[in-house]
Chains A and B, each alone.
Chain A
Amino acid sequence: MSELMIEIDVLRYRPEMDEKPFTQMFEVPYTPDMSILEALQYIKDHLDSTISFRWSCRMAICGSCGMMVNGVPKLGCKAFLRDYYPKKVSLEPLANFPIERDLVVVMDDFIKKLEEVKPYIIPEKEKCLSEGTYQQTPEQMAKFKQFSMCINCGLCYAACPQYALDNKFTGPAALALLARYNRDSRDGGEAQRMKIVNQEEGVWGCTFVGYCSVVCPKDVDPAAAIQLLKVESSKDYLIGMFKPE
């Protein structure tokens, strides 16, 4: 049986030996059920063991395998060769992040932004354990559930042209996460977080391109979260005009 082959271009960069990134082509045996991540694992096992890429769960839940597949931000484990075959596939590290090595990017800025939005419940007042749990109705949960599905893969940052132009912008996933806590009925930290939202680098860095929501593998719809926050920020602005701090 003659094997079907698919060509895969991988952007390589090993800082200790390469002056600048270059493309290396690999030929991988093709099967329709093979994911991009499996193709990379095949390359590492059989063709070139020096190649570096991140992965863990292989099921679109850990968020580590983000990369550019033919220029589009995708999870390697959720993108399949059959959607590209017989054309060749080109793999590059996630756009808008510095390259650490081959397909691995430096995500520090993204992580810093996630931490900055106070992504935890800030209770209105501390409750004693003996007072029992916080209750929440399905309706209250529906207000934030979608925005809580984020796996921090960073695809939306690779898609965002505003983050590309100016990485001071808080960005899609962090703002969606912020909205997730602001919209939670158990949370009382909205006033603190609105200060982040109201800045130029907050929601107002967004011009509603919407590509973040297109590439998001978990249907978080960060663009919607940001537009909702823009409305909140406008209300906050009006209130601020009448009662300045």
Chain B
Amino acid sequence: MSETTEKTYKRSHEPVFWGLFGAGGMLTAFLTPVMILITGILIPLGIINSQNFSYEKIHGFATTWYGAVIVLVLVALPLWHTLHRIFHALHDIGINRGRDWQQVICYGFAFAASIFVFTLLLQMF
């Protein structure tokens, strides 16, 4: 067999980021408009009573374990989505210098913000 000419293949780690990107994209597409509708339109217009979203209520929600998970996911995943998109858009508009650094900065930011929200939620308990 002529397997001698077989070249070496390098596996990409993109599946990790693509997975986060996809999950974040779903959330962004389905839930962000709802959140904007509630906090940006319905509450200011008085259609939803703002007392339902008072500090105490939200704090109470964020300090239950499921509430904390929901808040973390709602903040972190769309961030991963956004920064993945920005990382690829930089390539698309022809900014090709320091792709490694671009990657570190983009995903590093998403990672740092996720950890920040995580610790913030933890210390509220």
User: Which residues of A pack against B, CB within 8 Å?
Assistant: 161, 165, 195-196, 198-200, 202, 204, 207, 230, 233-234, 237-238, 240
Contacts and interface: CB of A to CB of B under 8 A. Distances in A.
Interface size class of B (residues with CB under 8 A): 10 to 19
A204 B94 contact: no
A207 B11 contact: no
Given A198-B11, A204-B14, 19 more contacts: A165-B91, A165-B92, A195-B9, A196-B9, A198-B12, A199-B9, A199-B11, A199-B12, A200-B12, A200-B14, A204-B15, A204-B18, A207-B88, A230-B15, A230-B18, A234-B18, A234-B19, A237-B11, A238-B15
Nearest to A198: B11
B17 to A, nearest CB: 9
B47 interface: no
Contacts of B15: 204, 230, 233-234, 237-238
14 contacts: A161-B92, A165-B92, A165-B94, A199-B9, A200-B12, A200-B14, A204-B14, A204-B15, A204-B18, A207-B88, A234-B18, A234-B19, A237-B11, A237-B13
B58 to A, nearest CB: 35
Interface of B: 9-16, 18-19, 88, 91-92, 94
A233 B11 CA distance: 10
A196 B19 CA distance: 20
B10 A199 contact: yes
Contacts of B92: 161, 165, 207
Nearest to A202: B12
A240 B88 contact: no
A207 B17 CA distance: 12
Contacts of B19: 234
B43 to A, nearest CB: 36
Contacts of A196: 9
Which has the most chain A C-beta neighbours within 10 Å: B9, B13, B91, B94?
B9
A202 B13 CA distance: 12
